[in-house]
Amino acid sequence: MKSLFPFRSQKSDKKEEASLTRQSNYLAGLENDQASTEEVETQLDWIKKHKHEVRRGHRMIQHEMHLGAKLFHYESIEEQAMTLSPLLHGTQQVQIDECTRQLQRLRDDFITHLQRVAEMEDTKPSGSLVKEYLKKVQQQEKLQPQTLWKFERIYCQLRGGCCSHNCGCCERSWRTIRDHSSRVHYLHCGRSCGCCNRRRVAIKVS
């Protein structure tokens, strides 16, 4: 009668081999899941930073428009004063100089902003999330402003901004001398919107 031990030994070896294979596959799966999670987190982090930088650029453009309007206002007052009397010359010079300094500082900040955006887009991580996000950004640039900013409208109304007065600021185009292509920017009003700020001040005074 032949011994059964060799058969049992072979069967045990196969079970152990199968167990090791399952463990190896499980560990490989964990490593893949971990790598996948890290890739997703990297993409989400890049998207978050890119959105923040884009919003920062929008605020700069709106602040530039606000400062430009203030500078024009002070220069107009100065010009009117000169026509009335030469003695009134320079009454608005302090405000004019301050607006000019702020605009110059804004120019430098905007150049830094453009460089940062270019660097971010050159070093963007690969992946479906980033690809879909950039595709959506390009699509939004082609949409009419009325179809954008659903949440922004709500926040603008709550802050007592332009959206609560239907003045049209939130849907008008913005041009900036920073963009040499003269491309029209559709931006929703933010905290740097001069019209919104004036309305909020008027509400507080009343």
Task: Considering only residues 123 and 58, tell me which one the structure prediction assigns the higher pLDDT.
Answer: 123
The pLDDT tens digits for 158-186 are 877 777 777 766 666 665 555 555 566 66
User: Please, which pLDDT band fits residue 88 given cuts at 50, 70 and 90?
Assistant: low
Q: Tell me if 74 sits within 8 A of 96, measured CB to CB.
A: yes
Residue 104: per-residue pLDDT: 92
Q: How many helices (H) and strands (E) does the chain have?
A: 5, 2
CA 173 to chain centroid: 18
- Mean pLDDT for all residues in the chain: 74
| Residue 136: count of CB within 10 angstroms of its CB | 10
Question: Comparing 1-5, 7-11, 33-37, which segment has the lowest mean pLDDT?
Answer: 1-5
Q: Tell me if 71 sits within 8 A of 155, measured CB to CB.
A: no
Residue 171: per-residue pLDDT: 62
Token pair of 76 as six digits: 């107009």
